[in-house]
């Protein structure tokens, strides 16, 4: 799935070195598509439907960039997010929200003007930790997600002070 988001960042570039440290906060909520599971062949020919989706909120990251030749830079960092489950289950059970951590890496290109205005074009990926939650119905109804990854391409405009 894809989603558009807004984020803000603050960065400190060290004098006489190609290294900068930053913090980024994603302002928007990222929503997954809704997964629908229809249960048929129930008594009296009834049909039941379960729906589930997730929302990623409060995404916060810290990172470092290292400038390399031709206006390019490498980026690596750590992120945290809250994953909120949004489900409607016919068993009236629910799943708890989960905090998740991830490690980000990317490559970007920056062009700066003499007045301090800059533009960046960047692609990065985040490898998120495993998520495992048990339903309120008991440990027999659990969800485990492995190998979760997000990818992002950004165009950023900024001003150096």
Percent of the chain with pLDDT over 70: 93
When comparing pLDDT for 29 and 88, which is higher?
Answer: 29
Beta-carbon neighbour count of residue 107 at 10 Å?
14
Q: DSSP code of 69? A: S
Q: What is the structure's pLDDT at 139?
A: 60
Token digits for 4? 């558009």
- Name 86's Cβ contacts closer than 8 Å, sequence gap at least 6: 52, 53, 54, 55
The model's pTM: 0.83
Q: What pLDDT is attached to residue 43?
A: 65
pLDDT at residue 76, as a whole number: 98
> Measured in Å, how far apart are the chain's first and last C-alpha atoms?
37
Q: How confident is the model at residue 96 (pLDDT cuts 50, 70, 90)?
A: confident
pLDDT of residue 8: 94
Per-residue pLDDT of 45-61, as tens digits, reads: 677 888 888 889 999 99
The pLDDT value recorded for residue 9 is 95
The whole-angstrom separation of Cα 154 and Cα 73 is 14
Q: Are 102 and 124 in contact (CB under 8 A)?
A: no
Q: Over 80: is that where the pLDDT of 39 sits?
A: no
As a whole number, the mean pLDDT across the chain is 88
Question: Of 32-36, 40-44, 134-138, which has the strongest mean pLDDT?
Answer: 32-36
Tell me the C-alpha distance between 104 and 4, whole Å: 18
């Amino acid at each position: 799935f894809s989603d558009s988001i807004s984020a803000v960042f603050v960065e400190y570039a060290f004098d006489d070195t190609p290294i900068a440290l930053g913090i980024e906060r994603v302002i928007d909520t990222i929503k997954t598509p809704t997964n629908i599971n229809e249960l048929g062949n129930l008594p009296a020919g009834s049909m039941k439907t379960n729906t589930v989706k997730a929302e990623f909120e409060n995404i916060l990251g810290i990172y470092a960039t290292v400038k390399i030749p031709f206006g390019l830079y490498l980026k690596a960092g750590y992120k945290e997010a809250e994953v909120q489950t949004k489900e409607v289950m016919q068993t009236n059970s629910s799943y708890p929200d989960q905090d998740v951590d991830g490690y980000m890496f990317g490559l970007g290109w920056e062009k700066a003007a003499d007045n301090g205005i800059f533009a960046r074009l960047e692609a990065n990926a985040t490898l998120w930790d495993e998520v495992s939650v048990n339903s309120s119905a008991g440990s027999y109804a659990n969800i485990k997600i492995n190998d979760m990854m997000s990818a992002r391409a950004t165009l950023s405009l900024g001003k150096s002070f």
